[in-house]
Structure 1
Amino acid sequence: MSDKETTKGVESITALKAFAHPLRIRLYYALRNAKVATVSYLADAVEAPVAQVSYHLRQLHQHGFIEPAPQHARDARERWWQLSNQRLRWHASSVLGEPEAAAMATMIRNSAVSEQYRLIGEFNESAEWDTGWLDAAFMADGTIDLTCAELAEMHAELMAVVERYAALSKRHLAPPGVERVMYVLHGFPVRRTTDDTT
């Protein structure tokens, strides 16, 4: 869920609590995908009542994850939001000794993965994209044998590639055909199902 960019991470239990709600995670993804959005747009995106969405947005704002974007408002009643430069990220080892934090971190990860794959399913079932986008979109998985250090190095190298392409999002004059593109990266160990180590 975390973007490196020029962001700051948050690891406190208070921040975890603020994020530890499935609807807030859906709102976070919806706002990130939209870049800026009104409460009513986000309510439609997550299929929840405006009042409920407003409450959860205020909680995300209170803890610094989103911020108002008043430059987009057409009048004083219209409330626009955008992500702040604060992201929720933590090292697994930092929450292991605190059962409450560990439980919230697990819930956040599981809710985030559910939202990621909901969006993937939405794309797979959509008929709105032309063949160029359908051919460019990709999904890959596999298994390789690595040490813990090598897995961490692989992650760093993959993120360096992502950051190179993320820099294109900052172009002042984007070429025709630019769309918001979501990427999903997971790398984790799996238990071998046999004694075969070759």
Structure 2
Amino acid sequence: MATYDDPRILRAIAHPTRNRVLHELSAAGSLRAADIAKRTGIPANQASFHLRQLAKYGLVEVAPDAGRDKRDRVWRLVDEDITLSPREMVEQPGGEAAYTVFQRSSVAWGHHLVDQAFQIAREDDPAKRIVSESSLRLTQDDAERLQRELNQVVARYREVGRESSDDDLELYSVYQLIQPMPDLAGEPEA
């Protein structure tokens, strides 16, 4: 697991299309630009552009062993787990502005995911939306252990999806937040 502290990386992954490209590569393992274009609904040249931008910051790389021949360009993540170090980033020139852009984009994406999860499915929509929220009393060590264990479960399912030849597989989002319970939104403190 690599920890990134370059603020330019935040700007690169704050872009919604590049973020989606990272998600597609994470789920699939390796893909061609044409595969990403098909899965995301963007033109192949746009997918190639975003892959090159992600490669410029060391987030993705060409996987020469995955191609059919030397001209077949297949991409993969450099590191399965992208970990950011915001504190170090904001201390660098341009870091605070980059973090603000990244935070705004991440919050908007989180809102979008929650909004979509709570949509009432139409009869012709076979997608299953599973929403779960739990409250636990934990120490900080317990919270970190829980996160590691959840990550292991997600990694197992990711590997099953990568190895499957089932064309009916769909990209699902697993969005986890483990944090101390925040104060009530909009409620005055007593």
TM-score (norm 1): 0.66
Separation in structure 2 between the aligned mates of residue 143 and residue 168 of structure 1, nearest angstrom: 24
2:20 aligned residue: 26
Task: State the alpha-carbon separation in 1 of the partners of residues 57 and 109 from structure 2.
Answer: 18
Q: Aligned partners of 1:54 and 1:15: how far apart in 2? A: 18
SS in 1 for 2:84: coil
Aligned equivalent of 2:99: 102
Q: Counterparts of 1:31-180 in structure 2 under 5 Å?
A: 31-85=25-79, 87-95=81-89, 98-110=95-107, 112-113=109-110, 127=126, 139-143=131-135, 150=139, 152-165=140-153, 166=155
Contact 2:62/2:75 (CA < 8 Å) preserved in 1? yes
* Deviations 1:96-144 (CA, angstroms, capped at 9, x unpaired): 565313313303423553675599689x78638xxxxx7xx95321446
Where does structure 1 lack aligned partners over 5 or more consecutive residues? 1-6, 129-133
Aligned-residue Cα RMSD (Å) equals 3.8
Amino acid of the structure 1 residue aligned with 2:131: M
Q: Which residue does the alignment assign to 1:131?
A: none
Looking at structure 2, the residues matched to 37 and 118 of structure 1 have their Cα atoms a distance apart, in angstroms, of 29
* CA contact 1:36–1:82 (8 Å) conserved in 2: yes
Cα shift at 1:162: 2.6
Structure 2 residue matching 1:67: 3-state secondary structure: strand
Separation in 2, partners of 1:144, 1:36: 36
Show CA shifts across 1:30-52 (max 9, x none): 11111111111101111111111
Separation of aligned partners in 2, 1:103 and 1:68: 30
- 1:11 and 1:105 map into 2 onto residues whose CA distance is 13
Q: Would you say the 8 A contact 1:25–1:112 is kept in 2?
A: no
Q: 1:32 to 1:118 in 2, by over 3 A?
A: farther
**Residues 112 and 79 (structure 1), Cα distance of their counterparts in 2 relative to 1, 3 Å cut:** farther
Shift of 1:90: 2.9
TM-score (norm: length of structure 2):
0.69
Q: Give the share of equivalent positions with the same residue, in percent.
A: 18
- Alignment of 1:16 onto 2:4: no
1:68-91 deviation per Cα after TM superposition (whole angstroms, max 9, x unaligned):
122222234321111112754334
CA distance in 2, matches of 1:168, 1:191: 33
Whether the 8 Å contact between 2:13 and 2:102 is mirrored in structure 1 is no
Out of 171, 174, 180, the position equivalent to 1:183 is 174
**Cα distance change of structure 1 residues 74 and 138 upon mapping to structure 2, 3 Å threshold:** same
Q: How many residues align?
A: 175
| Offset, 1:156 | 0.6
Query: Per-residue CA shift, 1:173-198, capped at 9, x if unaligned?
Result: x89x9x887532113443233768xx
